[in-house]
Amino acid sequence: MPKHYRPAGKKKEGNAAKYITRTKAVSYLQISLAVFRKLCILKGVFPREPKKKVEGNHKTYYHMKDIAFLAHDPLIEKFREIKVHRKKVKKAIAKKNRDLADRLLNRPPTYKLDRLIIERYPTFVDALRDLDDCLTMVHLFAALPAVEGERVQVQRIHNCRRLSHEWQAYISRTNALRKTFISVKGIYYQAEVQGQKITWLTPHALQQVLTDDVDFNVMLTFLEFYETLLGFINFKLYHSINVNYPPILDPRLEALAAELYALSRYMSSGRLPGNPETNGLIKDKETENNEEGSKTVESELRLAQLQHQLPANEPGTLMHLVEESTADDTEDSTVKECRSLFKNLKFYLSREVPRESLLFIIPAFGGTVSWEGEGAPFDETDQDITHQIVDRPTQSHVFLSREYVQPQWVFDCVNNCIVLPTEYYVVGRVPPPHLSPFVDNDEVGYTPEFEEKILKRLRAASKDKVLPLPGLGDEDQDNSMVDARSEYNEVAEKKRKLDMLEKQYHEELKMEIEGETFSSLANKKGDNPTHAVDNDAHAANDQVDDLVEQAKKDEAEMSKSFVSNKTEGLIRAIEINKERKRSNVELLKERKRKASSSASAKRK
Amino acid sequence: MGHADQDRQPVNNDGLSSDDEPWSDSDEGSLSFDDSGSDDPDEDEAAAGESDSSEDEVGPRNTVGQVPLEWYKDEEHIGYDIDGRKIKKRDREGRIEQYLRNADDAKNWRKIYDVYNDEEVQITKDEAKIISRLLKGKTPHANVDPYPDYVDWFEYDGEGHPLSNAPEPKRRFVPSKWEQKKVVKLVRAIRNGWIKFDKPKEEPNYYLLWGDETDTADNKREGLSYIPAPKPNLPGHEESYNPSVEYIPTQEEIDSYQLMYEEDRPKFIPRRFESLRSVPAYEKALREGFDRCLDLYLCPRTHKKRINVDPESLKPKLPSKKDLRPYPRTCYLEFKGHNGPVKSLSVEATGQWIASGSSDGTIRVWEVETGRCLKVLNVGADVHAIAWNPSPERPILAAIVGHDLLLLDADVGDEETKMRTKELLCVDEPTPEDDADGKKPAVRWVKHEKFDGITLIHHKLSKKRSHHPFRKLPGLPVAATFHPTQKMFFVATKKFVQVYDLQKAEVVKKLESGVREISSISIHPGGDNVIVGSKDGKLCWFDTDLSTKPYKTLKTHKKDITSVTFHRRYPLFASSSEDCTAYVFHGMVYSDLNQNPLIVPLEILRGHLSIDRRGVLDCKFHPRQPWLFTAGADSVIRLYCE
Q: For residue range A255-267, list pLDDT tens digits in order.
A: 665 677 777 777 7
A135 vs A343, more confident:
A135
**Whether residue A566 has pLDDT greater than 90:** no
Q: How far is A438 from chain B (nearest CA, A)?
A: 6
What single string gives the DSSP state of each residue in B444-463?
HH-----TT-S---EEETTT
CA A130/CA A230 separation, integer angstroms: 11
Confidence band for A141, pLDDT divided at 50, 70 and 90: very high
Phi and psi dihedrals of B553, rounded to 5?
-120, 125
Burial of A361: CB neighbours in 10 Å, binned 0-12, 13-18, 19+: buried
Q: Which of A122, A185, A207 is closest, CB to CB, to B221?
A: A122
Beta strand A346-349 pairing with A368-371: parallel
Q: Is A388 on the interface with B (CB under 8 A)?
A: no
State whether residue A160 sits within 8 Å of chain B by CB: no
Report the distance separating Cα A584 and Cα A199, nearest Å. 26
Q: Name the band, by pLDDT with cuts 50, 70 and 90, for residue B26.
A: very low
Q: Which residues of B touch A560 (CB under 8 A)?
A: 315, 555
Given a contact cutoff of 8 angstroms between Cβ atoms, the answer to whether B71 and B84 are in contact is no
Strand partners, B355: B346, B365
pLDDT at A223: 95
- B248 shares contact with chain A (CB less than 8 Å): yes
Residues 289-348 of A with CB under 8 A from B: none
Which of A65-69, A394-398, B407-411 is modeled with the greatest confidence?
A65-69
**What secondary structure does DSSP assign to B571-616, as a single string?**
SEEEEEETTS-EEEEEEE--SSTTSPPEEEEEEEE--PPPBTTB-E
Answer whether A237's CB lies under 8 Å from A127's CB: no
Q: Read off the amino acid at residue B379.
A: V
Residue from B282, B287, B305, B308 to probe the interface with A (highest A Cβ count within 10 Å): B282
Contact B528, B543 (CB under 8 A): yes
pLDDT of A320 over the 90 cut: no
243-282 in A: which are within 8 Å (CB) of B?
245-246
- The top-scoring range by mean pLDDT among A363-377, B146-160, B562-576 is B562-576
Smallest CA–CA distance, residue B235 to chain A, in Å, is 7
Do B576 and B618 touch, CB atoms closer than 8 A?
yes
pLDDT at B550 over 70: yes
The helix/strand/coil state of B567 is coil
Contact, A306 vs A270, CB < 8 A?
no
- Which whole number is the average pLDDT over A280-297? 40
**Residues 6 or more apart whose Cβ sits within 8 Å of residue B199:** none
> For the ranges A523-532, B94-103, B185-194, which has the lowest average pLDDT?
A523-532
Tell me, what amino acid is at A118? I
Tell me the Ramachandran region of residue A485: left when phi exceeds 0, alpha when psi lies from -120 to 50, beta otherwise. Answer: alpha
A residues 539-568 near B, CB within 8 Å? 550, 554, 556-563, 567
Q: How far is A44 from chain B (nearest CA, A)?
A: 7
Number of helices followed by number of strands (H, E) in chain B: 13, 29
List the Cα angle A514/A517/A521 in 5-degree steps.
90
Q: With CB atoms and an 8 Å threshold, state whether A47 touches B301.
A: yes
pLDDT mean over B61-82 = 82
Please give the CATH number for the structural domain made up of B321-427+441-459+472-641: 2.130.10.10
Residue B463 CB partners (closer than 8 Å, separation 6+) = B430, B439
Determine contact, residues A178/A193, Cβ cutoff 8 Å. Answer: no
Q: CA Rg, chain A, in Å? A: 36
Q: Do A182 and B207 touch (CB under 8 A)?
A: no
Please identify among residues 415-474 of chain A the ones whose CB lies closer than 8 Å to any CB of chain B.
430-431, 433-436, 438-439, 444, 448-450
Contacts of A508 (CB under 8 A, 6+ apart): A521
Alpha-carbon gap, residue B479 to B521, rounded angstroms = 6
- Kindly state the average pLDDT of the residues A119-138: 92
Per-residue pLDDT tens over the stretch B92-131: 778 888 888 888 888 888 888 888 887 888 888 889 999 9
* Whole-number pLDDT of residue A284: 39
The confidence score (pLDDT) of residue A302 equals 45
Q: What phi, psi does B120 have (nearest 5°)?
A: -100, 135
| CA torsion, ordered A71, A77, A80, A81, to nearest 10 deg | 180
Return the pLDDT at A527: 46
Q: Which residues pair with B540 in a beta bridge?
A: B532, B553
So what's the pLDDT on residue A489?
63
Please report which confidence band the pLDDT of residue A254 belongs to, taking 50, 70 and 90 as the band edges: low
pLDDT band at A294 (very low <50, low <70, confident <90, very high): very low
**Distance from the B553 Cα atom to the nearest Cα atom in chain A, whole angstroms:** 8
| B254 pLDDT tier (thresholds 50, 70, 90) | confident
Q: How many CB pairs under 8 A join A and B?
A: 272
State the Cα–Cα distance between residues A61 and A53, nearest whole angstrom.
Answer: 8
The highest-confidence range among A79-88, A363-372, B574-583, by mean pLDDT, is A79-88
Which residues, 6+ apart, have CB-to-CB distance to B625 below 8 Å? Answer: B351, B641
Q: CB of A185 within 8 Å of any CB in chain B?
A: yes
B298 interface with A at CB cutoff 8 Å: yes
Mode of pairing for the β-strands spanning A346-349 and A387-389: parallel
Are A206 and B206 a contacting pair at CB < 8 A? no
Percent helix, strand, coil in chain B (nearest 5)?
25, 25, 50
Alpha-carbon distances of B96 from B92, B101, B120, B217, rounded to whole Å? 12, 8, 17, 136
* Residue B385 β-bridge partners: B400
| pLDDT score at A226 | 95
Please state, in angstroms and rounded to a whole number, the distance separating the CA atoms of residues B635 and B336.
7
- Surface-to-core class of residue A89, CB atoms within 10 Å of its CB (0-12 exposed, 13-18 middle, 19+ buried): middle
The span from the CA of B579 to the CA of B556, in Å, is: 11
User: For residues B452, B453, B454 and B457, what is the CA-based torsion angle, rounded to 10 degrees?
Assistant: 110
Q: Does A184 touch chain B (CB under 8 A)?
A: yes
C-alpha span between A311 and A308 (Å, rounded): 7
Assess contact for A241 and A215: CB atoms under 8 A.
no
Helices A216-240, B285-298: crossing angle, 10 deg rounding: 90
* Main-chain phi, psi angles of B389, to 5 degrees: -70, 125
Give the strand pairing for B628-632 and B636-641: antiparallel
Chain B residue with Cα closest to A109: B200
pLDDT of residue A540: 64
Chain mean pLDDT for chain B: 77
What B92-100 contacts at long range (C-beta under 8 Å, 24+ apart), as own/partner pairs, is none
Which range in A473-482, A558-567, B173-182, B414-423 is most confidently predicted, on average pLDDT?
B173-182
For B72, residues 6+ apart whose C-beta sits below 8 A from its C-beta are B64, B78, B79
* Residues B469, B449 contacting (CB under 8 angstroms): no
Apex B637 CA angle, B636 and B642, nearest 5: 130
Set of chain B residues whose Cβ sits within 8 Å of the Cβ of A571: 311, 314-315
pLDDT digits (tens, 9 = 90+) for A195-252: 899 999 999 987 788 888 899 999 999 999 999 999 999 999 998 888 888 887 766 6
**Angle, nearest 10°, between helix axes A154-173 and A355-364?**
30
Is A49 close to B300, i.e. CB distance below 8 A? yes
Minimum mean pLDDT range among A235-249, B154-168, B213-227, B253-267: B213-227
Say yes or no for a CB contact (<8 Å) between B242 and A231: no
Angstrom distance (rounded) from CA A206 to CA A186:
10
pLDDT score for B289: 93
More confident residue, B309 or A370: A370
Q: How many CB atoms lie within 10 A of CB A25?
A: 25
Q: Is the pTM of this model over 0.80?
A: no
- In this prediction, residue B415 carries a pLDDT of 75
Domain boundaries, chain B: 85-143, 229-276, 321-427+441-459+472-641
Is residue B505 within 8 angstroms of chain A, CB to CB? no
Give the model's pLDDT for residue A253: 67
Helix (H) or strand (E) holding A415: helix A407-416
Chain B contact present for A595, CB below 8 A: yes
Contacts of B537 (CB under 8 A, 6+ apart): B555, B556, B557, B558, B559, B560, B561, B577, B579
Rounded Cα distance between B424 and B566, Å, is 30
- Contact criterion met (CB below 8 Å) for B357 and B383: yes
Q: Is A222 on the interface with B (CB under 8 A)?
A: yes
Q: Do A199 and B231 touch (CB under 8 A)?
A: yes
A positions 493-512 inside 8 Å of B (CB): 494-495
Find the range with the poorest average confidence among A465-474, A507-516, A551-560. A465-474
Highest mean pLDDT, choosing among A183-197, A362-376, A378-392: A183-197
B119 phi and psi, to 5 degrees?
A: -150, 165
Residue A426 CB neighbours (<10 A): 15
CB-based contact B244 A435, cutoff 8 Å = yes
Question: Which residue in B279, B299, B316 is closest to A184 by CB distance?
Answer: B279
- Pairwise CA distance, residues A97 & A105, whole Å: 12
Reduce the DSSP state of residue A239 to 3 states and report it.
helix
Pairwise CA distance, residues B427 & A228, whole Å: 107
Rg, C-alpha atoms of chain B? 70
What's the mean pLDDT when you consider all of chain A?
A: 78
Does residue B342 sit in helix, strand or coil? strand
A467 pLDDT exceeds 70? no
Chain-centre distance for alpha carbon A220: 25
DSSP string, B169-181: PGGGTSPPHHHHH
Average pLDDT value for residue range B588-605: 85
Q: Does A408 touch chain B (CB under 8 A)?
A: yes
- Across the interface, do B208 and A235 touch by the CB < 8 Å criterion? yes
